[in-house]
Structure 1
């Protein structure tokens, strides 16, 4: 089943953020706990402070009519704000310092005091914050009493008749000694620390993801190319020890990945006269040659007559993976030194045949673009159901691009976690420059755990196996089309 590229724009941002969280949850958790720890530590080293409040009622005298009372109330509300501001002035604070014997200046004492007047009321609330709970209550009460005296003196002095002040401040709530500190607010500090730590962790995770330019999953490829994703090959830490996983461990998830790739390749083969494919990659080490070898084995197991050609005339590897003699091969055919029947070697029990690269020539690009190869390709297409060419990477040399112009299709191998997005773009651009469309992309080295984990059922059908490791009757069997 070819991967569907339609309808992939919905919920992209949310999905990406969820993926980042899944990948970097350890980093985010570390910063979260660091933020909580920093907030808790800050709260512990802070000296507790206590706050005590007293309330003063402001009233006016004179007049008994309703109109006089309304005017007096309006006058009082207008003056309350002024009296609240008067609380932190030296005229009020200096007597308090003297009475309580405080070793403070009026400015230092003013910094401990806040006075507020609620809207549409004639109350003034005076709060004092200090490290000494009892002292904060004493200061709040003393400030309230001295404010009343100061206002009375000021209003009396400003009265031209010399009569008593019409304004009176009454202490209606004495300050009480607080039992619990108001600072530090440990729950609030920890909540803020957790929020800051979480924000930093998420920010660093997003930044890390933005700076990571490597291909991670099929979505990264979708953003670069519209070519179908034919399949994904899961990562195997022992791949170098057992490159032919389909042959060595047919029940493994990685072997199943190649069978899924085989199934998807069938769709590309429908109606084609030229049933040859060049398999290449952007750079070295992306699993290109092992993909060719394992795919060829699965095709042969499904009943197809397959020819694998090692067209990497710079660093040939196929003969080593398959355990064959590679001294003679494709180069000998291209220069007319040998016939196909002399150098093509059978492999395994099925109809799988291998054409090694032969000796490394000084001019690989010229040989691969020669008329001799065109003639050979036509002969191969007549004799085999599918022909797979293992070619050199696209970015270092032009061999694969030249060969891609001659064959029926091009498959690009991309290694998850290794290939950079720019490298894949460059490789696809090289094919586009020679007017060669990409038949499909195969992702290798996909992780089996984590947010980028690969489930092979996503790209094709699932298979059942008996005790022998061979496909059961319920398993689909793919046979490449014949001319």
Structure 2
């Protein structure tokens, strides 16, 4: 993964990653704040030899003190000393419990024993540390008995009393919260990488083109007019979408310069990707450009065009294919001067047989003689209608909803087209979120100028491919 892919991952998954970081820090904070506070205080006692009258005696006493300090180290955390501390401070705990809260250490090459005591109260921690040193010193005197004041013997003297702790030693807030933040960032990154590995949705224009083997003929952004009943885009309030459809119209002319398509099927892999919206607006912009257009509603399972154009759907394509009416009887005017509409008619019980019939193929050919034919069809994966229509027409436009189409669905859709020798003219990426989709994968386009620039570059590539 290079730096660009890593940044793309962050941009795509940032919300989930932020949630993970916040939840992790919050969980660590709750754990930290609900722990019982412990305070640690330290006191020290010096193990020293008595009766040193000369330099030699002093050296010998120092060696003896260090040697005896190692022996007396365990005494500071012994049951006897713990019981004396409990009796002195009148503590309500057992010697074993107190021994568990005491730690005695002897720094290397010294005779100073450091005692650390833990307690839930800072004053109690201080008192226990001081009392432990005093009790250990008393225990040493008791061991040596009357000889404790004689020359050559060892005693323990408290040298540094314990201070009052100002902050708890456990849990340490200034340590726990940064650790929680680091843990949250690591978990968020691991989650993002896992999601990237397991998420098969196509999130880049390049990837869609690579799998489909054709160029993207258009990229339609999300815009409010496309979500309304008539799904009509214009220059006011939807300039980006209008420019996208105009560029789509231009790109269709370069799909095959010698034999440009006259009848195209607009389909998708599954429902809800916006194929009907793309078909309606593509027909509109072609008609607006001066060409005669016939828009055919060949989705005989869930027809929608009649609601977009407010036309009567009681008589339409179904009756024409059944031979009960002629095509002239069902053609209705659209909302552009050069646009006519063929509604679906009554929903039949055998739509696949109708759209795959020789009569349907003949109808498409007749309409394409003097008009550009745009056919709205069902999705490719649930039924075979779209594949059959693509084989009868000059090719198909495959509409893919941005960041929603799984790779397997696109691959299967292409297989369905290939199985009937259907021609894929190109793909249209629909419902792009401005600022989030790029050609490589995330963050595509901020304005109509970028759409036009991208489409012009795509057109130049196609033209160069044809001339070469």
Q: What secondary structure does 2:430 align onto?
A: strand
Counterpart check, 1:369 vs 2:356: yes
Question: In structure 1, which of residues 124, 130, 144 is the aligned counterpart of residue 133 of structure 2?
Answer: 144
Contact between 1:276 and 1:381, CA under 8 Å: does it hold in 2?
yes
Residue number in structure 2 paired with 1:398: 384
Do the aligned partners of 2:48 and 2:155 also contact (CA within 8 Å) in 1? yes
Matched, 1:312 2:312: no
Return 5+ residue gaps in structure 1 as ranges: 1-7, 464-476
Tell me if structure 2 keeps the 8 A contact 1:20–1:206. Answer: no
Change (3 A) 1:431 1:210: same
Deviation, structure 1 residue 460 = 3.1
In structure 2, list runs of 5 or more residues that go unmatched.
464-468
Q: Distance in 1 between matches of 2:6 and 2:94?
A: 58
The aligned counterpart of 1:5 is none
SS in structure 2 of the partner of residue 268 of structure 1: coil
| Cα offset, 1:390, TM superposition | 1.0
**1:14-413 equivalences in 2 (<5 Å):** 14-21=7-14, 23-24=15-16, 27-28=19-20, 31=23, 34-35=26-27, 38=30, 41-42=33-34, 46=36, 49-58=38-47, 80-151=69-140, 167-183=154-170, 185-192=172-179, 221=208, 225=212, 227-236=214-223, 239=226, 241-246=228-233, 251-334=238-321, 343-348=330-335, 350-384=337-371, 386-413=372-399
- Write the deviation string for residues 223-280 of structure 1: whole angstroms up to 9, x where unpaired: 9655543333333456464424135957444333323433443442434354432111
CA distance in 2, matches of 1:267, 1:119: 85
SS in 2 for 1:299: helix
Question: 1:470 — aligned with what?
Answer: none
Given that 2:243 and 2:451 are in contact with CA atoms closer than 8 Å, whether structure 1 keeps it comes out as no
Distance in 2 (CA, whole Å) between partners of 1:9 and 1:85 is: 57
In 2, the alpha carbon distance for the partners of 1:226 and 1:265 equals 16
Q: Distance in 2 between matches of 1:120 and 1:303?
A: 100
Conserved in 2, the CA contact under 8 Å of 1:263 and 1:460? no
The count of residues paired between Structure 1 and Structure 2 equals 447
On the 8 A contact 2:77/2:99 being kept in 1, the answer is yes
Kindly provide the CA deviation profile for residues 183-228 of structure 1, in whole angstroms up to 9, marking residues without a partner as x: 5544444445555666777778888888887777758857965554
Q: Which residue of 2 aligns with 1:468?
A: none
User: Given the two structures, how large is their TM-score scaled by the length of structure 2?
Assistant: 0.75
Distance 1:103 1:340, change over 3 A: closer
Deviations 1:432-462 (A, max 9, x none): 4435454333233344577877536487306
> Aligned-pair distance for 1:90?
1.7
- TM-score, normalising length: structure 1: 0.73
Tell me, in whole angstroms, the C-alpha distance in 1 between the residues paired with 2:309 and 2:235. 12
Tell me by how many angstroms 1:429 deviates: 3.8
Distance 1:171 1:259, change over 3 A: same
- Distance in 1, matches of 2:383 and 2:280, equals 22
Q: Which residue of 1 aligns with 2:466?
A: none
Name the stretch that deviates more: 51-60 or 191-200: 191-200
Kept in 1: contact 2:226–2:233 (CA 8 A): no
Q: 1:242 to 1:58 in 2, by over 3 A?
A: same
More helix by share: 2
Whole-angstrom distance in 2 between the partners of 1:181 and 1:217: 52
Match of 1:415 in 2: 401
